[in-house]
Structure 1
Amino acid sequence: MTRIIALIIILIFSLPKLFAQPTLSYDLKKPKKFENRKLASEKTESTKFHAFRAFTQNGTTKFNFHYNAYKKLAEVIARGKSQHKDDYSRLLSFYNYDLTITAKDKTELDSVIYKANAAILLHDLRNSWVDNMYMLMGEAYYFKNVLDSAYYTFQYLNYAFSPKEKDGYDKPIGSNANADEGGSVFTISTKENPSILKKAWARPPSRNESFIWQIRTFLAKDETPEAAGLIETLKHDPAFPDRLKTDLREMQAWWFYKQQLWDSAAFYLEQALDNAEGREEKARWEYLIGQMYDRANNPAEGAKWFEKTVSHTLNPVLEIYARLNTIHDHKGDDKILQENIKELERMARKDRYLVYRDIIYYAAAEMELERNNIPGAKALLLKASSYPGDDAAMRSKVFLLLGDLCYKEKNYPDAKRFYDSITNLNPSLVDAKSFNKLKGTLAKIVAYQTTIHHEDSLQQLAAMPEDQLTAYLKKLAKQLRKKQGIKEDDSGEPSGGPLSFNDNSGPSDMFNTSNQKGDWYFYNATLKGKGYTEFKGQWGNRPNVDNWQRMAAIKQATPTTVLNDDEAAAAGGKAGNAGPVTYEDLLKSVPLTPTQLATSNDSVEKAQFLLGKTYLEGLEDYRSTIDTLEAFLTRFPTSKNRPEALFMLAYCYSKIGEEAKAAAAQNELKQKYPGTNFEKILSSPNGVTPDSLSRQEMTRRYDNIYNLFIEGRFDEAEAEKKMADSLYHENYWTPQLLYIQSVYYIQQRQDDSAKKSLQNIIRVFPGTGMAAKAKTLIDVLGRRKQIEDYLTRLQIERPAEDSMAEPVAIVTPKPVMQQQPVEVTQPAPAQQQPAVTPPAQQPAKPPVTQQPPATVPVTQQPKQEVAKTEKPAVTPPAQQPAKQPVTQLPPPPVLAKKDSVKAKVEPPKPLVLTHNAEIPHYVAIVLDKVDPVYINEARNAFNRYNREQYSAKGFTVNNQTVSDDIKLVLIGTFPNANEAITYIDKSKKLAATEIIPWLPAAKYSFIIITDNNLQVLMNTKDVNGVKNFLNQNYPGKF
């Protein structure tokens, strides 16, 4: 006890020399309930840090917080490593974990960050563990894959815990200013205290470690230049501690690994092997070093490291791959390769490697391919496929390589068979879409080849003498029944006879309880054969596997290659007989009559022609196409497909450079088959064919339907679309047509029809921008009633209107007469203002209008089209309204008088287009013959676009009617013309693809317009005149 007390006293008196962290401060915003309560960290400046306080603060921070947070972080890393799976046949990743996997452990990492924050806030900031807690916080952010936060945390450690003077000021870092204290321009690290007591009671300062983690973060973010700069700085820093030198070597190795400088990466990784956690991680890095030396064309050094891996690893898979690579690296002539292959075969026969024979045989097959021994490689691959291991991916690799070898040899049936055996396709080895397309092509080729071979064989049988045919068919039937397991009786018939459904003798006694012999069922050959026949008749060829019904359902659900009618007929597709095979059954399939022979020849003709066409279109195998089609033309000289066959032959001949044969095929096509589509294409490659004319007609028809919808002729559009769909189905639909149709249905409150149209967009045009819009609109339609109910219950109180306020809407003026106007305001049906004759001295003054600037004109109801100019005017005498306005026109030079009593409003002059680029402008989308339904939809689309792209600008979007055909969508206001043109340049590019992709480009155009020019347009209705005026002032913009 005395010794313990003495040790504690020594530690307490030594503690003042142990803490060396700086005093930190922060502004902490606390909840109102705890505003007056101080945390321990807030008492740092007001409390003495005596020996006992230092002892308790360091102890609780270390054992209560740092220890638990460190253990949690270590568990997260361990789980990430356990979920990582290496593919030893490819270059390993540098680390045996992935940040995307560790980031899934978000709860535990958040707990580490929480504990680090609590440890800092609940303890004196002068204790020795504050920097270590910040270090754990940064590491937690790193493994959470929040790399920016991790970098800022490590950078904070760098600055906040840098060396300081006694008075608290920072010492210059990387400068000669403190050269007398050991500083220099090459020193950025913190000098560590080598005291034994310091090492026993506190961890080394984390600032130096933060440099390593900054490099790690840079590399994880692929910021290699920043990482290289910090690496070079630390390499030449004399104060950088020796304990972190291996960590720096590890970062150098990772940097070179990312730059694919394999020899340098391997060199530095050798020096960082001590950082590996455990024997297996060290063996893994040794294997990676061997791989990198192999990639650097240094197989001797690579073999050395693979041998080290074999001696260190306990992972049998890693050991096998290391041995395989060792054998592979001992390269030489063909004799050495043969010895290596024999060594692998000896490995495969050892008991400890039985489970991994597929891997070994696959590696041996790759060695055979190196010396171009294709048969030897295929034999080894077949052995690998016959010894399946636990790795389904390896089995798929075996079948993929087998299929590739057969495909290169044009052995398409075997290639298809091996490709079909692949169950786990690795996307890094082959593109799934291209692979599935190839499988479909091979399925067609094999079907056509099978049909040709089958029909040719039957025709050969038909050509045999009758007695030879009979003997052959009986012998064949007997062989087939034997394969089915059916025994023969003395008469040559299958035992039990064929299954008959017309047996009137009652149900058969399968177990033959009346049998006097007393033979058991399975010992009686007759009963056994009869039972087998009945089973086959009921169940067919049932596979000898468990859950066969479920497997059959899965196979039926598996997508297969779809053949059209001609392809299906050419491919055959005859169902096999589930019962026993008899001579009569075989005889029926032999084409003995002229009709049967003609049918057989038709099948061969279709199959052979489609086979050649598939070679060309599916595989681009020109030589096979030529061989097949030449045989086709020789065998069937009068075939209706001969013109197309000649056309394909001419193309293939030209592709392989046989120009003479290509010219001969072209001449025959032109001379013997003039007027056919293929002759027209050959004679005029750029001409219009009947097929293209029909396609143009169909396209024109749907374009017309599209325009009918846009122009609001909905009934006519619906009728036309129904008729077109009945002719062409959905082949010529466009997403734009379906979208505008759905908008029409929505406006008519036909939500079910709208959803059906939108779902057709998603089904027929998946992955397009219109499909995304359709999904959003379907979601809104599903909540339509809820949204409408909310808007119905919503109460909005409008502020009281100021009777003296100016009107906030720009008035849409009515067209003025060609002569000089004589009235102050525009005439209205319900109210007329008296005309005032102006004096002669007023013509030089411009007209005064009551129009607030930069206000978007709003389309109101028809009754609101007349300007309300009476508000700023003084009320006239009571007798004045009874007077009628003067209808006689004044002389041309006389202008309307400016009445000082009546609001001083002067009637407008004849309006003309003016140009002033510095005054406010609107952007106007000119819509030509577009229904109001789609005008509103266009306005909403630009509203959404402005909210997303110009939310700070506060643009308003409104509609304006110019004429029955011309409508405007006004967006504004913009301070000047340049900003309006900039908006058009950006939005015009997105209009056809994102903003209003459903509206034809011919139906809209962009212009800029001022208040004055808008009124001119409203009077003249001349949109082209405005565009010509803009093109004069802004060439090439409009």
Structure 2
Amino acid sequence: MKNAFLIQFYKQASIAIVLLFVFGCSTQKDAAFNRFYHKMNTKYNGLFYAEYHLEQGIQRLNDSHSDNYDKIISINRLGELLDAKNTQSSFDKAIEKSQLVIKKHSMDIGGEEKNTLIEKAYLVMAKAQFYKKDYFVAKNTFGFLVKKSLKESTQSEAALWLARCHQELGNKEALRQQIRKLKDDFYLSLSQESRLFEIEAELSLDEGDLEDARINILKAIDSSKNKHKQARMHFILGQILLEQKSDNSAVKQFEKVIKKNPNYELVFNSKLNKTKATNLNSKSFEKIKEELTKMLNDKKNNEYKDQIFYALANLDLTQKDTTSAITNLRTSATLALFNASQKIKSHQKLASIFWDKKQYIETFVHIDSVFQLIDATHVDFFKTKVMHKNTKSIADYYLKINYNDSLIKLAQSPEEVRNQIIDEHIERLRAQDEEMKQQAQNNRPGSNFNSYEFNRQAQNSMNVTAGGGWYFYNPSAISLGYSEFISRWGNRKLEDNWRRKNKNQVNQEEEFSFGEKSEPSQKEKYERSYYISQLPMEESQQLQLLSQTETAHYNLGVLFKNDVIDYTQSISIFQKLLQRFPNTSYKQATYFDLYNLYNILNDSIQSNIFFNKINSEFPNSPYLAVLNGSQADIASLEKDESIYAKIHELYSTFSETSCNEMGQIISQHPNNVYIAQMELLNIFCKARDLNKKQFIMALEELQTKFQNSQISVELNNILSELKGEGALVMKTRYTNDFQSPHVFFILLKDLSINLPTTQSSLSKFNSTNYSLAELEITNLLLDKKNQLIQVAKFKNKDEALVYYQQITETADLKEMFDSGIALPLVISENNYAQLLRHKDIQEYIDYFNEIYLLI
């Protein structure tokens, strides 16, 4: 009886509890139990995990953030877009958990939220969106909280983050309005005030107002209780004070950083910056040098030695000790194996030193290293590009002179001497090859090729002023040739027919051997007969090389005069030209250039000498008319120059209309002194409507027409490159619509590849890293040989390329990509439609490599 009673009691109690929870789960009933139930579920279920994933993501983002200490660092560590994408899975989970909490436990009754923790869920979701760099979405969420929240603390917090969204989006006017609202309309806690000062400081730094930034950072430090944030702001203060030349105050700030013991990278850079902030005398110089030497001996600084040697070099330069500075900078560049920024700085400084010393070949070696590492966004890109162009031209001309002289000298040597030189070279070559084989066998994983040391040793072996020297396999020639290759073709994968659009086809009609010397086979390079066959043994061949040398001298002199602005060196080169080639075809122009150069240097005696030479040797020269002050001739030259400027402007427009107008102007001014250059630009303008053969024929006709003109040399270079399969911009149906939606796809060249496995790997990657992106994976057959797996879609080119970078490093797929049987690509939707219609996959690969990957 008792058991029956208990059974009945438990049944009724169970029903009551179930009913209680069923009705308690209602989000539309404003009862104490309902509020308690939903708050507990919000706090200990979804919100707990959302906050956990948010903190995990922020930590990963902080760890991946890399500061550029060459500039004033940012107060907050937000990382780059790729960093945000790599931590996206944590933020996606935080957003997902927050959305789930809001959906299940929000008690919006009569327009009022009864579950007070829902606001916190919105705040976590908005922060996750911000750290993902979805600033527009985050801005809307924070704005919603500002309007809807009933808590002042939540409103002010959301308003602060809304200001940060405007800051990251670059909406400066909206940011200023938001800052005013925060000051006038919101009550801020001490911590929130500190963050508002940070926002104002970042705005001032962005606008270049260092003093205002300094004041706001001081206020932020006073209001902040975050020790690590304080250390970072003290460092920024030190950087600002360095810029303001307040060295003693800067040192105090860096010492404060060190005392707070933040991450060692900040400590190290504080110590390093202290050495920049001292007014030097002999005593302080020795003290700083001793401190830097001590840092070198500290094992903790092993990975920073490149920067310490750079600091030592700067210290040497303050004492005008360029010899020690060069030694330390070379050591810095050598040690900076994985620090591209430091390698750039060290080579830049070396290039600058050698430029000032007028050692242009050494300058080229270092600026070439910079040019290979630097990108177009770098602040010194244009300056580097100009210096690289000029020093490369100098090196090329010297190399051409040396090369031709060495070949002629060897060809004219007695047979016995010539054979001995070649045999000795072959022996050295055998020894070098043997050494390289030995090194290859001894190579260990992780070893690094030091391109700087290679270039430096190559340069040291080149005598650019002497007229001799053996050229074949000369390291200098190889180094300079390599640089030329990189500048023309980029970093190409080593493979057969690398220059061709379609590497599987070779059109015999496009094969040219003119202007290219074939490389020796493995057998030929050890045979004397091969090298003799490469020598200009015939007089006509030697005369051709001498003609090239003559032109190289003149062009080098002009380069020093017009571009490098080294008048002394220009005079020296022009004088050598006249000594070596007394009857040079450039004599008239050279006399005129020397007259002007000596005038610039205020050497009236020498300038008069060359005026008289023009007058006596070339009485009908147009240069003489100009020197005599003939207004008619000056006016005529100015008119010709203005017409040429108009032609160049039309060429730059590069439209069908401008090309037609260009042709009409040229036909009206056949006697313009710049007619050759104008007609060349006209051919370039028409090139898009010509095939390669027609383009070459047009250039050859122009070369014949102006064979005695200086432009003939340029035409010869262009034709040599074209006939050697030089780079020519190809026509393509694909367009550069980078801001439109994009698709990532994998080209599968082997139909036997397991599609489900590949799709599964992609799906796994997407669910881990792009769970909220709603990416769709589909596959289709492109043609009989190729199939595609596409992942769609991405907002624009940048987002698609971030995905491309991540997926190519994924372990499950990397092996397949490396093997070459699958190729990852990114394409805009419009171009994708073109690809599927025309199925010209190789053309798109070429377009993708050149436009998207810049190779």
> Is the 8 Å Cα contact of residues 107 and 115 (structure 2) preserved in structure 1?
no
Q: Which amino acid aligns with 2:556?
A: L
The separation in 1 between residues aligned to 2:641 and 2:179, in whole angstroms, is 67
Q: 1:808-957 maps to which residues of 2 (within 5 A)?
A: none
Deviation for aligned residue 1:149: 5.1
Q: 1:256-405 maps to which residues of 2 (within 5 A)?
A: 256-258=204-206, 259-261=209-211, 262-275=213-226, 279=228, 283-313=231-261, 315-405=263-353
Give the 3-state SS of the residue equivalent to 1:731 in structure 2. helix
Deviation for aligned residue 1:384: 1.8
> Is the 8 Å Cα contact of residues 269 and 289 (structure 1) preserved in structure 2?
no
Select the residue among 79, 83, 89 that pairs with 2:70. Answer: 89
Matched, 1:607 2:552: yes
CA displacement, residues 677-711 of structure 1 (integer Å, 9 cap, x when unaligned): 766777624437999999999999x999969x9xx
> Is the 8 Å Cα contact of residues 42 and 101 (structure 2) preserved in structure 1?
no
> Is the 8 Å Cα contact of residues 197 and 216 (structure 2) preserved in structure 1?
no
Matched, 1:111 2:61: no
Deviation for aligned residue 1:614: 2.9
Deviation for aligned residue 1:378: 0.7
> Is the 8 Å Cα contact of residues 215 and 231 (structure 1) preserved in structure 2?
yes
Q: 1:171-250 maps to which residues of 2 (within 5 A)?
A: 190=152, 205-222=153-170, 227=175, 240-242=188-190, 244-250=192-198
Matched, 1:129 2:79: no
Between the two proteins, the alignment pairs up a number of residues equal to 578
Deviation for aligned residue 1:643: 1.4
The separation in 2 between residues aligned to 1:150 and 1:695, in whole angstroms, is 51
Structure 1, 397-406 or 228-237: larger mean CA deviation? 228-237
The separation in 2 between residues aligned to 1:266 and 1:694, in whole angstroms, is 55
Structure 2 residue aligned with 1:445:
394
Structure 2 residue aligned with 1:619:
564
> Is the 8 Å Cα contact of residues 291 and 302 (structure 1) preserved in structure 2?
yes
Structure 1, unmatched stretches of 5+, are 1-36, 164-189, 191-204, 488-538, 560-567, 710-726, 740-761, 777-1038
- Cα 1:602–1:705 shift into 2, 3 Å: closer
Give the 3-state SS of the residue equivalent to 2:74 in structure 1. coil
Structure 2 residue aligned with 1:62:
43
CA displacement, residues 69-113 of structure 1 (integer Å, 9 cap, x when unaligned): 333333333343333211223321221114745764385575366
- Cα 1:255–1:691 shift into 2, 3 Å: closer
The separation in 1 between residues aligned to 2:278 and 2:499, in whole angstroms, is 46
Give the 3-state SS of the residue equivalent to 1:611 in structure 2. helix
The separation in 2 between residues aligned to 1:400 and 1:618, in whole angstroms, is 19
Higher relative contact order (CA 8 A, sep 6+): 2
Give the 3-state SS of the residue equivalent to 1:132 in structure 2. helix
Deviation for aligned residue 1:645: 1.6
- Cα 1:116–1:268 shift into 2, 3 Å: farther
The separation in 2 between residues aligned to 1:704 and 1:263, in whole angstroms, is 53
Q: 1:603-1002 maps to which residues of 2 (within 5 A)?
A: 604-653=549-598, 655-656=600-601, 665=610, 668-669=613-614, 672-673=617-618, 684-687=633-636, 731=683, 733-734=685-686
> Is the 8 Å Cα contact of residues 119 and 133 (structure 1) preserved in structure 2?
no
Deviation for aligned residue 1:344: 1.6
The separation in 1 between residues aligned to 2:104 and 2:240, in whole angstroms, is 43
> Is the 8 Å Cα contact of residues 65 and 83 (structure 2) preserved in structure 1?
no
The separation in 1 between residues aligned to 2:574 and 2:474, in whole angstroms, is 38
Alignment identity in percent?
A: 18
> Is the 8 Å Cα contact of residues 361 and 380 (structure 1) preserved in structure 2?
yes
The separation in 1 between residues aligned to 2:421 and 2:407, in whole angstroms, is 13
Structure 1 residue aligned with 2:33:
52
The separation in 1 between residues aligned to 2:687 and 2:473, in whole angstroms, is 48
> Is the 8 Å Cα contact of residues 404 and 549 (structure 2) preserved in structure 1?
yes
The separation in 2 between residues aligned to 1:133 and 1:92, in whole angstroms, is 32
The separation in 2 between residues aligned to 1:673 and 1:318, in whole angstroms, is 69
Deviation for aligned residue 1:381: 0.9
> Is the 8 Å Cα contact of residues 612 and 625 (structure 1) preserved in structure 2?
yes
Give the 3-state SS of the residue equivalent to 1:372 in structure 2. coil
> Is the 8 Å Cα contact of residues 345 and 361 (structure 1) preserved in structure 2?
no
The separation in 2 between residues aligned to 1:224 and 1:697, in whole angstroms, is 42
Q: Which amino acid aligns with 1:390?
A: F
Larger Rg: 1
The separation in 2 between residues aligned to 1:403 and 1:704, in whole angstroms, is 41
The separation in 2 between residues aligned to 1:575 and 1:287, in whole angstroms, is 59
Select the residue among 102, 121, 130 that pairs with 1:142. Answer: 130
The separation in 2 between residues aligned to 1:654 and 1:706, in whole angstroms, is 42
Q: Which amino acid aligns with 1:648?
A: D
The separation in 2 between residues aligned to 1:558 and 1:678, in whole angstroms, is 45
Q: Which amino acid aligns with 1:270?
A: I
The separation in 1 between residues aligned to 2:96 and 2:278, in whole angstroms, is 51
Structure 2 residue aligned with 1:1010:
none
> Is the 8 Å Cα contact of residues 367 and 387 (structure 2) preserved in structure 1?
no
CA displacement, residues 487-527 of structure 1 (integer Å, 9 cap, x when unaligned): 9xxxxxxxxxxxxxxxxxxxxxxxxxxxxxxxxxxxxxxxx
> Is the 8 Å Cα contact of residues 76 and 108 (structure 1) preserved in structure 2?
no
The separation in 2 between residues aligned to 1:694 and 1:242, in whole angstroms, is 67
Structure 1 residue aligned with 2:3:
none
Structure 2 residue aligned with 1:157:
145
> Is the 8 Å Cα contact of residues 253 and 267 (structure 1) preserved in structure 2?
no
Structure 2, unmatched stretches of 5+, are 1-22, 433-471, 477-481, 483-490, 501-513, 664-678, 692-726, 741-855
- If each structure's helix is expressed as a fraction of its own residues, which one has the higher value? 2
Deviation for aligned residue 1:238: 10
Deviation for aligned residue 1:51: 2.6
Deviation for aligned residue 1:243: 5.4
- Cα 1:131–1:611 shift into 2, 3 Å: same
- Cα 1:328–1:618 shift into 2, 3 Å: closer
> Is the 8 Å Cα contact of residues 160 and 196 (structure 2) preserved in structure 1?
yes
